[in-house]
Amino acid sequence: MLYEMELSELGYDVICSEDVSRCLEMITEAEPDVVVIDRKIGTIDGIDWFSIIRKHFPSLPLILAAAYHLDGSNRQEEIVDFYASKTADLADLKAKISEALNLRR
């Protein structure tokens, strides 16, 4: 898990899971400052998960990592706080996490 390794090296406490069925439970238990979800999680759309997360945690910053251009639909704009380019270079993601954390403080 590239995200976990790089973000841990920056001093972030990172919780990862490929089991999306536990997503809400993990957020409730860990009380994260920000959530990053991939645009596609197997057959599940990250936007659909963010919609569910937003209902339960309305003030939690949500970052969507995507490997391709997003359509910028109103639905996405209402749910996702930040978009990050999904590349091997995590500079964009790191910047978005920093921005989200600064807004949260």
Give the β-pairing of 62-66 and 44-45: unpaired
d(Cα 1, Cα 70) in Å, to the nearest integer? Answer: 23
Q: pLDDT, tens digit, for every residue of 27-62? A: 999 999 999 887 766 666 777 788 888 899 999 999
Q: Report whether 49 contacts 23 (CB < 8 A).
A: yes
Q: What is the pLDDT of residue 70?
A: 56
pLDDT score at 66: 81
Nearest to 12 by CA among 28, 29, 34, 27: 34
Class at the top of the CATH hierarchy for domain 2-104? alpha beta
